[in-house]
Amino acid sequence: MSLTISYFNRSNQGESLWAPFIEMFKMLSVVLIITYVATKSKSFKSLVKGDRSLKTIIGQVIICSILGVLASYFTMDVNGVPANSRGLIVMISALLGGPYVGIPVGLISGICRYNMGGPTALACCVATILAGIIGSLINRWNNGEFLKPYKAALLMFLFCGFEMWIVCVLTPWPEGLFIANAVYAPMTFAAVLGMLLFTMFLGEKKEEITGEELKKAVDANADKISVNSDIIDINTDRIIEISWELKEYKNRAEESEKELKDYKDKVDALEQQLDDIKNKL
């Protein structure tokens, strides 16, 4: 990208062509860094694991709403028109957390944008709220799973076009058309690229969380095996002791049986002698 920019920057036409995309890329980099820091929270990790508890949802709504509001203030001037990545933040929150996260984040971010005023206040507000609703519906349609990278990128590409249509319809003519024409390409570029990068990061995060859970499971099983090994060792010693005791008792029983047989033989001999004496009498 740097070589290509350097080549085209030799002319004013090249600079005017690439400058909006570079500005949006700078803004996207900052937004993704902030998003990366936010993903270190416990609520994000719980949400990735599939936890939909009230505590997790509230935490994620707060984090994503803050990011959505910051995106409204952190803008880049593209051809004299302010551009931002608010729609990307709201769409990600909806695709990740579903309606309980996406719709509140869309409402909060959209209302905040409307209160900031400007010719596109209503259009941006409506588009932001719709981003939360559409992303939430797709989350439910996809059984709560985040979309594959190419599907998420295609969704963002289509939504950016839909957002520009809303700007044209809800903004006074011809200002709406001028604004949409100025920011459509750079904002679409930033939104699609940002969605691709986030889905890649999310995949790595899932692998990391899965690895941590697997390690915990292995450690827990190792502890159980260790405890069971101790129990087995104790029981083995006891089995050996019982075996020796049984062998000793068996020997004693055999000796007792032998003595009993000898006594029986002596009794039989005495009875035979007694019978002989009786016969003589």
Q: What is the pLDDT of residues 27-81, one digit of tens each?
A: 677 777 777 777 777 767 777 767 677 888 888 889 889 888 888 887 777 766 7
The rounded distance, in Å, linking the Cα atoms of 67 and 42 is 17
User: What per-residue confidence (pLDDT) applies to 129?
Assistant: 94
Q: What tens digit of pLDDT does each residue of 38-48 get?
A: 777 776 777 77
Identity at 125, one-letter amino acid code: C
pTM: 0.67
Q: How far apart are the C-alpha atoms of 90 and 131, rounded to whole Å?
A: 6
- Return the SS3 of 78: strand
> What is residue 46's predicted lDDT score, i.e. its pLDDT?
72
Residue reference for tokens 């405890």:
227
CA distance 177 to 167: 8
Residue 138 token pair: 């797709």
Q: Where are the beta strands (DSSP E) in the chain?
A: 76-78, 81-83
pLDDT higher than threshold 70 for residue 217 = no
Residue 41 φ/ψ, nearest 5 degrees: -70, 155
Whether residue 3 is predicted with pLDDT greater than 70 in this model: the reply is: no
- Amino acid 13: pLDDT: 46
The candidate with the shortest Cα–Cα distance to 152, out of 118, 117, 200, is 200
**Euclidean distance between CA atoms 171 and 177, whole angstroms:** 8
Better-predicted residue by pLDDT, 149 or 206: 149
| Cα 47 from Cα 59, distance rounded (Å) | 10
CA distance linking residue 97 with residue 50, whole number of Å: 9
